Amino acid sequence: MMTNPSRRRFIAAGGVGLLSFVVGDSCLRISPAEARYKKLPLGNLNATQASALERLGDALVPGAADSGLVYFLDQQLSTSTEDCMLMIRYLGVAPPYKDFYIQSLAALETACLRRYQKDSAQLSASQVAQLIDALLSGSLLDWQQSLPAAFFAFVLRSDASDVVYGTEAGFDRLGIPYMAHIPPPAPW
């Protein structure tokens, strides 16, 4: 009725794009989940920031960690404002966007320590849910940022939605056709 499937490129189940990593002298082509498993090095985020992002991102949008949220953010934070593909670029925040993420993550850790006496990566699932509720409702005390906590949660949730749902694999998971004119050259 609506479209001729032969004109379309439906992707096979489980087909995901590969990331390129230069490790030592060699260039690895691996999936985001493998990159995560192998703990491949990051350029912008340190280990604490990466685990906080994964923990929160995956709780917001299940599947975000395996879909490579941290690698997506880390890679995009190295690009110029003009080439950046993060949603933050059109939400009225002044670049460099790295500052926004790093400062928000620091505020998050401070709030976690005050509230739970541990950092975000060590929270139980129910504590993470409580934390998200507090972030979204703006009731997180000690949030020392000019931009509200709910805005940070919104941005991170959007980033996580990008990697989980905004890809060829994500469309496939939802059972909807991607129908690319020009498919993305990377997993995201």
Closest contact distance (angstroms) between CB of 62 and another protein is 5
Q: Determine the angle formed by the axes of helices 97-116 and 125-137, rounding to 10 degrees.
A: 120
List, as one string, the DSSP characters of 1-50: ----GGGS-PPPTT----EEEEETTEEEEE-HHHHHHTT---SS--HHHH
**Footprint on this chain of another protein (rule: CB under 8 A):** 2-3, 7-8, 59-63, 80-87, 89-92, 94-95, 129, 132, 136, 154, 157-158, 161-162, 165-167, 170-171, 174-185, 188
For another protein, the closer CB: 89 or 115 = 89
Closest contact distance (angstroms) between CB of 13 and another protein is 15
For another protein, the closer CB: 42 or 93 = 93
Smallest Cα–Cα separation from 56: which of 20, 19, 104? 104
For another protein, the closer CB: 4 or 26 = 4
Closest contact distance (angstroms) between CB of 90 and another protein is 4
Asked whether the beta carbons of 144 and 110 are under 8 A apart, the reply is yes
Smallest Cα–Cα separation from 140: which of 117, 120, 112? 112
Closest contact distance (angstroms) between CB of 14 and another protein is 18
For another protein, the closer CB: 23 or 133 = 133
